[in-house]
């Protein structure tokens, strides 16, 4: 835990002090820091073998607007056929997966996306609560369990498809932080067909991008369309593009608007956490206000700020993102919801 905190502090200081146009220096320095701090040191890998992935420590539930925001159906492994009693026919499936130190029961966390879809209505929703493992404060354990949890979810979704409840192309996985990589593993292991879409909400960087301890993580081949929203790139989130379409609100790094309150040591961790969580808050906002956060394809944030992007290539970020777009997209947001910035350049589709 101490090493992970040192990583977050060090990378945050870099993000605040170094200008974004010194990208090569930032990346090389981050690589050195993460290789130095994030190590296996003393972690007992045998402990992983004692952890069985079952219906107790990976709680998978089904929701829809008819059931309401406070009533769900527990999905039992090999009993997925029971969902047919509650399923909304001919409507897509949204699968929501939280990240490290989170849980679906936390209403102020990634659960806000589930709430958004239920309030809007018309969707089948599944939540994957692996809080019993994600709550382990030694980051190494949740990190190394990503593959097992992703494999379990793939089997559950394959069963749902086999029972002819939904088609793989109508499945959309939405994962935050480590949950984004769980989604990627799930997509890569699906046997019934290629998943339609995976949205990575600031996928975890430590252990995946630098100082790699996990070989399996989110990549563009895991679904027909993979879109990624970067909000703390180079610290807790991925720095590089990894999807078919990568979105970089406000440059995609720390601090996001509303998260900066001066360089004070006791606030650095909160600053990073605020920016890291902004990804799922932006996505939830895109469900309530679809098509409002228009992103423009560009080579870099500096070019976007200089208005050197091709305004003909654009797409809404989040819920309404076009599966046909490819490349890196930039846009501005406000510091609080609704996050659409009226002063950012935008045009109607």
- Residues identified as active-site: 177, 202, 276
| Strand ranges (E), the chain | 59-63, 73-74, 93-97, 124-129, 171-176, 197-201, 225-229, 245-249, 294-297, 314-316, 327-331
Annotate 9-47 with DSSP letters as a single string: HHHHHHHHHS-TT-HHHHHHHHHHHHHHH---TT--THH
Q: CA-to-CA distance for 283 and 318, rounded, in angstroms?
A: 5
Measured between alpha carbons, how far is 164 from 182 in angstroms, rounded to an integer?
Answer: 24
Please, are residues 249 and 283 in contact by the beta-carbon 8 Å criterion? no
Q: Residue 194 phi/psi, 5° resolution? A: -75, 130
The pair phi, psi for residue 343, each rounded to 5°, is -95, -5
Instruction: Say if CB 36 and CB 6 are below 8 A apart.
Output: no
CA distance 329 to 318: 12
- Give which of 305, 294, 304, 255 is closest to 278, Cα–Cα: 255
CA dist., res. 161 & res. 61, Å (int): 16
The 3-state DSSP class for residue 267 equals helix
Distance from C-alpha of 274 to C-alpha of 336, rounded to nearest angstrom: 12
């Amino acid at each position: 835990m101490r090493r992970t905190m040192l990583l977050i502090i060090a990378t945050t200081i870099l993000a605040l002090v170094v200008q974004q146009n010194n990208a090569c220096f930032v990346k090389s320095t981050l690589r050195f820091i993460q290789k130095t701090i994030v190590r296996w040191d003393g972690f007992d890998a045998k402990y992983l073998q004692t952890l069985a992935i079952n219906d107790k420590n990976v709680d998978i539930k089904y929701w829809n607007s008819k059931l309401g925001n406070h009533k769900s159906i527990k999905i039992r492994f090999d009993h997925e056929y029971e969902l047919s009693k509650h399923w909304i026919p001919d409507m897509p499936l949204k699968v929501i997966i939280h990240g490290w130190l989170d849980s679906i029961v936390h209403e102020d966390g990634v659960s806000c996306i589930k709430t958004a879809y239920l309030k809007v209505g018309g969707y089948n929703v599944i939540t994957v609560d692996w809080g019993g493992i994600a709550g382990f404060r030694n980051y190494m354990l949740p990190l190394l369990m990503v593959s097992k949890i992703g494999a379990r979810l793939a089997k559950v979704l394959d069963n749902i498809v086999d029972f002819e409840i939904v088609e793989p192309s109508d499945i959309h996985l939405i994962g935050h932080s480590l949950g984004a990589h769980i989604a990627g593993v799930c997509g890569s292991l699906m046997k019934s067909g290629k998943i339609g879409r995976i949205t990575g909400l600031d996928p975890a960087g430590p252990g995946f991008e630098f100082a790699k301890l996990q070989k399996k993580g989110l990549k563009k081949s895991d679904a027909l369309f993979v879109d990624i929203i970067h909000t703390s790139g180079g610290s807790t989130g991925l720095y590089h593009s990894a999807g078919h379409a990568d979105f970089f609100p406000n440059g995609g790094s720390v601090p996001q608007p509303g998260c900066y309150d001066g360089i004070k040591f006791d606030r650095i961790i909160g600053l990073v956490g605020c920016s890291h969580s902004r990804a799922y808050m932006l996505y939830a906002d895109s469900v309530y206000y679809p098509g409002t956060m228009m992103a423009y394809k560009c080579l870099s944030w500096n070019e976007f700020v200089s208005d050197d992007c091709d305004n003909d290539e654009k797409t809404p970020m989040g819920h309404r993102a076009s599966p046909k777009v490819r490349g890196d997209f930039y846009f501005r947001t406000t510091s609080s919801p609704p996050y659409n910035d009226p002063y950012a350049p935008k045009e109607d589709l």
